[in-house]
Chains A and B, each alone.
Chain A
């Protein structure tokens, strides 16, 4: 098909929107409500372009027709964009004190050259202070991206629009708070929001306070996916591994010990792998489902009560909770510090882990959870020149890990790591190729088979909870299932650097698999420190002590 954009002839494929065609041809069109992979809702009316007959149409929801002539930057277009952007500004401007480069709207206002907003803010709206996620309606511009993500990607339906005209606003049903409805705290709505109206519940101030407290011994642990994303906050290219710099920076912030959640991940594999083998031996409890993702767990507790009843869920705590327990028991004893004086801070890509750390049944070893973004703010707070730090290593014992743990951050990683260990534990043979390619990639649902000494294990991996719902419809066809709430896994978790772009996420995932390849040991059970901790402290996987410290239970919650 041939069309003209800004008087230039352009050939385009059928089925692409005008917006996509423009993008392919290097023409930038501002958007606020459009999201890749989701159907356009065409709410914001900023992506408008002008047709030959002087009509303005939204490029995100219109398709080119043969012979069409489009102007993307005419005076008419510019004026309409300006007015629409200006109409969105009053409330946002009132609350967003500084122009924030992460806010699409703030950037747009600059691009469009708006210096003055003619309208006053309407009124003050509610601020919903959730356990993980905060919604500030004053900043919201009703673009609907969070609603679309919660509905179409996570199928959780925690939020929707209510009322009409300028009273329309996003809210959980009947104006409840996020804490009181079935919101799984995944934070994907944060990632979707173009103006920062949704954000994490900060623990930063609390952490700064304990760092100042001389009496406290403050220990920090970092999740597998942080090292592949933290660099972005300091303008390093996506996919840069910053493990060494991160450790160095955290030491400079004043943490007494820097441990690695990857150690917890290796431990998770030992426990979970053994659990799988036990189920195979007893031939019951299939499919077994992973429990590393607290958002998935909360989702299951709201919507899939039969998985609790039928004991499909693994009983393993998530890796950072396992490590938290060990820090407050094993490490406390070894270092001879009273447990009460130890503060554990987890650095996570995830907002759901903030909620998780408040679960009473966990008697959580973790006191505070910081997201990747908060961590960058922490480092900035101490005026550390992150880019130029030289690499440092994690502190010993609880800082040692394998390649299997490194890949936890990507969808399919837990499955692959578990299969590496389960295979060797079950067969007693060495696994020749440790790469399980079927588990990798960004497909919503991935499946495969592996032979564990006579027992064929059919495994499946889902990321994004809409996909999980699909997979669970056919759960009886599988023996072992991994579910991660965030599309792509923790690497695109609700606490990761903004804004989210697919290309960035692919780079982060590549970095993680690079790390796996680079490490000398790539199977969790080969980690010498894991061996040591079982010998010295835990006994063996699924021992009484392990059960007490590393495993947990689940509760039914209301689906509303």
Chain B
């Protein structure tokens, strides 16, 4: 696997030799882009912050991997923390950050000692003076959002901020801040060092009804079927969920590329694939995900706070065979308005799975709804 190569501090030394500007240019040339989901060119992000006049700047490594079914960051921290730390030090050097933070998901607190060890080791070997602080989250999904991380590190409630200003202009403590995800930063030294570094390789987290779940390194554009085959499912796969927020589609031959997935009104995001076989009920799955959002909404804006609650209610009624067709319309309308008007990414994506499920698997919902009527009739 490319991600497991050991840069052994050579990339850091190279960066120092090149100086900050040339390092940024190199990253830009290599075409490294953000792996958190937005695919924003990493070098350009760094450049924006390095050009800000402020003397105080920060780097944050987003290790708040809260997306259900996603575990690639954990994989990196466990298997190659040295590359990650080296990447952090290079990024901090390139943007002249005063301090770097690793915002670690609360449930990953057992990885803290591992990270700490790696920090001491790499800092000793490189002689870098940049302090790296590990901040452990309190377990809120919303804190995977860039601006909510800022609030959380500042000691406030984890809620997203209004953008603009963007963090690159006014981030942590109102200073220009770069926020990069673990996979992105771990790739930094590799991209700098190896000529054969492939910018298209991604880490896919595969789980669900497969016998071989785990992290797979494959290029963007790999056919979905190929990945599923690698997972060796027992039963035929009916549908695929792209994590909680990415939506779902019926299992088909589609390349795993953001553009192709987007055409299906889904999002590849952080390459999370949850396979669902024929034995599963889509309604139950969707209800489960709705429960997740009803619990994780930060509560700030109306559609997400109230809407996720109402959606779960209706879905539970459907599951309990206690709803009628009108409720399906309400469900759709709610889901659309939540998507259109929520404040932050959490709300905006919280109904993707539902909208697609209603589109591709509507019959499953209708069956449940109809069951209610038949039952009533027999009771009479």
CB pair B310–A87 under 8 Å, yes or no, is: yes
- How far is the CB of A197 from the nearest CB of chain B, in Å? 15
Q: Hey, which chain B residues are within 8 Å of A122, CB to CB?
A: 309
25 examples of A-B residue contacts, CB within 8 angstroms = A40-B162, A42-B301, A42-B343, A43-B301, A43-B343, A45-B301, A45-B342, A58-B341, A76-B340, A79-B337, A80-B340, A83-B307, A83-B333, A87-B306, A88-B306, A141-B302, A161-B157, A161-B299, A164-B296, A164-B297, A165-B295, A165-B297, A166-B306, A166-B309, A168-B305
B337/A42 in contact, CB under 8 A = no
Q: Is residue B334 contacting chain A, with contact meaning CB distance below 8 A?
A: yes
**Does B176 lie at the interface of the complex (its beta carbon under 8 Å from any beta carbon of A)?**
no
Chain B residues within an 8 Å CB radius of A161: 157, 299
List of A residues within 8 angstroms of B341 by Cβ: 45, 48, 56, 58, 80, 84
**Residue of chain B at shortest CB distance from A163:** B299
Residue of A nearest to B305 (CB): A166
CB of A87 within 8 A of CB of B299, answer no
Docked-complex contact A142 and B305, CB < 8 angstroms: yes
The reply to whether A45 and B302 form a contact with Cβ atoms under 8 Å apart is: yes
What are the 3 A-B residue pairs with the smallest beta carbon separation, nearest first? Answer: A168-B299, A87-B306, A166-B309
Interface of A is mostly: loop
* Contacts A83-B334, A83-B337; A43 near B294 (Cβ below 8 A): no
Q: Which residue of B lies closest to A84 (CB)?
A: B302
Within the complex, what minimum Cβ distance (angstroms) separates B309 from chain A?
Answer: 4
A164→B337 CA distance, assembly (Å): 20
Complex Cα–Cα for A79 and B335 (A) = 12
| B305 contact set on A, CB distance < 8 A | 142, 165-166, 168
Contact with B along A492-522 (1 / 0, CB 8 A): 0000000000000000000000000000000
Q: Which residue of A lies closest to B308 (CB)?
A: A165
Question: Does B303 reach chain A (CB closer than 8 Å)?
Answer: yes
Cross-chain contact B301 with A44 (CB below 8 angstroms): yes
Query: What's the nearest-Cβ distance from chain B to residue A236, in Å?
Result: 36
Q: A84-B303, A87-B306 in contact; A165/B162 too (CB < 8 A)?
A: no
- A88 and B337 contact, CB distance less than 8 A: no
| Contact B299 A56, beta carbon cutoff 8 Å | no
Report if A166-B297 is in contact (Cβ < 8 Å); known contacts: A56-B340, A118-B330, A122-B309: yes
Instruction: Report the bound CA distance from A318 to B310 in whole Å.
Output: 50
The interface centre, meaning the residue of B140, B297, B302 with most chain A CB atoms within 10 A of its CB, is B302
**Bound state CA distance, A39 and B164, in angstroms?**
13
B300 at the interface (CB under 8 A from A): yes
Complex-state Cα separation, A39 to B307, whole angstroms: 25
B301, A167: Cβ atoms under 8 Å? no
List CB contacts (< 8 Å) of A171-186 with chain B.
none
Known contacts A43-B302, A118-B330, A119-B310, A164 near B340 by CB under 8 Å: no
Residue of A nearest to B163 (CB): A61
* A104 at interface by CB-CB < 8 Å: no
Measured CB to CB, the closest approach of chain B to A395, in angstroms, equals 52
In the assembled complex, B298 has its CB within 8 A of some CB on chain A: yes
Query: Which residues of B have CB within 8 Å of A168?
Result: 298-300, 305
- Please tell me if the beta carbons of A164 and B310 are within 8 angstroms of each other in the complex: no
Interface assignment of A367: CB less than 8 Å from any CB of chain B:
no
B298–A165 CB distance below 8 A? yes
Is A41 part of the contact surface with B, judged by Cβ < 8 Å?
A: yes
14 more contacts with CB within 8 A, not counting A80-B337, A87-B306, A119-B313, are A39-B162, A40-B162, A43-B302, A45-B341, A61-B162, A83-B334, A87-B303, A119-B310, A122-B309, A164-B297, A164-B298, A165-B298, A165-B305, A165-B308
Task: List, in ascending order, chain A residues with CB within 8 A of B309's CB.
Answer: 122, 165-166
Interface string of A44-88 (1 = CB under 8 A from B): 111010000001101001000000000000001001100110011
Cβ contacts B286-326/A at 8 Å (1 or 0 each): 00000000111111111101111110010000000000000
A76 partner residues in chain B, CB cutoff 8 A: 340
Q: Which residues of B contact A61 (CB under 8 A)?
A: 162
Chain B's closest residue to A169 (CB) is B299
For the complex, give the distance between the alpha carbons of A168 and B308 in Å: 13
Name the CB-closest residue of B to A89.
B306
Among the listed A48, A58, A165, which residue makes an inter-chain contact with B299, where contact means beta carbons less than 8 Å apart?
A165
B303 and A142: CB pair below 8 A? Answer: no
Tell me the minimal C-beta distance from B150 to chain A in angstroms: 16
Residues of A within 8 A of B306 (CB): 87-88, 166
Give the docked Cα–Cα distance between A55 and B342 (Å): 12
A80 CA to B298 CA in the complex, in Å?
20
Residues of B226-255 contacting chain A, CB below 8 A: none
Which chain B residue shows the least CB distance to A60? B162
Question: Given A45-B343, A48-B341, are A87 and B330 also a contact pair (CB < 8 Å)?
Answer: no
- From A160, which residue of chain B is reached at the shortest CB distance? B157
Asked whether B343 lies within 8 Å of A142 as measured between CB atoms, the reply is: no
Known: A42-B343, A56-B340. Contact between A79 and B333, CB under 8 A?
yes
Task: Enumerate chain A residues within 8 angstroms of B301, measured Cβ to Cβ.
Answer: 42-45
Selected from B142, B162, B302, the residue in CB contact (under 8 A) with A87 is: B302
User: Which among A43, A55, A119 is the interface contact of B300 at CB below 8 angstroms?
Assistant: A43
B160: nearest chain-A partner, CB-CB: A42
Cβ A166 vs Cβ B308 within 8 A? yes
Q: B260-291 vs A: 1/0 string, CB under 8 Å?
A: 00000000000000000000000000000000
Query: Chain B residues with Cβ under 8 A from A119's Cβ?
Result: 310, 313
Interface of chain A residues 235 through 276 with chain B (CB within 8 A): none
Bound-state CA distance A161–B142 (Å) is: 16
Q: Which residue of B lies closest to A83 (CB)?
A: B337
CB distance from B99 to the nearest CB of A (A): 27
Q: Mark A140-169, 1 if CB is under 8 A from B, else 0.
A: 011000000000000000000101111110
8 Å CB interface, B148-176 against A = 157, 162
Q: How far is the CB of B311 from chain A (nearest CB, A)?
A: 11
The CA-CA distance from A45 to B298 in the complex, in Å, is 15
Interface pair B303/A165, CB less than 8 Å apart: no
Q: How far is the CB of B39 from chain A (nearest CB, A)?
A: 20
Write the nearest CB–CB distance from B277 to chain A, whole angstroms.
31
Chain B, range 103-136, C-beta contacts under 8 Å to A: none
Residue on A nearest B342 in the bound complex, by CB: A45
> In the complex, what residues of B have CB within 8 A of residue A87's CB?
302-303, 306-307, 310
Q: With the chains together, A71 CA to B313 CA distance in Å?
A: 33
Distance, CA A325 to CA B92, complexed state (A): 69
Q: Could you say which residues of chain A place their CB within 8 Å of the CB of B307?
A: 83, 87
Partner of B294 from A44, A46, A88, A166 at Cβ < 8 Å: A166
Give min CB distance, B20 to chain A, whole Å.
Answer: 32
Q: Are B333 and A165 in contact (CB under 8 A)?
A: no
How distant is the Cα of A58 from the Cα of B305 in the complex, in angstroms?
A: 17
Contact with B along A8-49 (1 / 0, CB 8 A): 000000000000000000000000000000011111111010
A61 to B313, CA, bound (A): 31
Whether A164 lies near B299 (C-beta < 8 A) is yes
Please report the C-alpha to C-alpha distance between residue A166 and residue B313 in the assembled complex, in whole angstroms: 12
Expressed in whole angstroms, the minimum distance between the Cβ of A444 and any Cβ of chain B is: 22
Query: For residue A48, which residue of chain B has the nearest CB?
Result: B341
| B142: A residues at CB distance < 8 A | 164
Q: Which residues of B contact A165 (CB under 8 A)?
A: 294-299, 305, 308-309
Most buried by B among A48, A55, A119: A119
Most buried by A among B295, B296, B300: B300
CA separation between A165 and B333, bound complex, in Å? 20
A residues near B298, Cβ cutoff 8 Å? 164-165, 168
CB distance from A269 to the nearest CB of B (A): 45
Chain A nearest CB, measured from B328 CB (Å): 13
> What residues on A are CB-neighbors of B333 within 8 Å?
79, 83
Per-residue CB contact flags for chain A residues 407-440 toward chain B (1 = under 8 Å, else 0) read 0000000000000000000000000000000000
What is the bound-complex CA distance between A88 and B302, given in angstroms? 7
**Chain A residues, CB < 8 A from B295:** 165
- Chain B: minimal CB distance from A455 (Å): 44
What distance in Å separates the Cβ of B326 from its nearest Cβ neighbour in chain A?
9
> Which of chain B's residues has its CB closest to A57's CB?
B341
- Chain A: which residue is nearest B298 at the CB level? A164
Q: For B296, give the chain A residue with the smallest CB separation.
A: A165
Chain A residues lying within 8 Å of B140, measured Cβ to Cβ, are 164
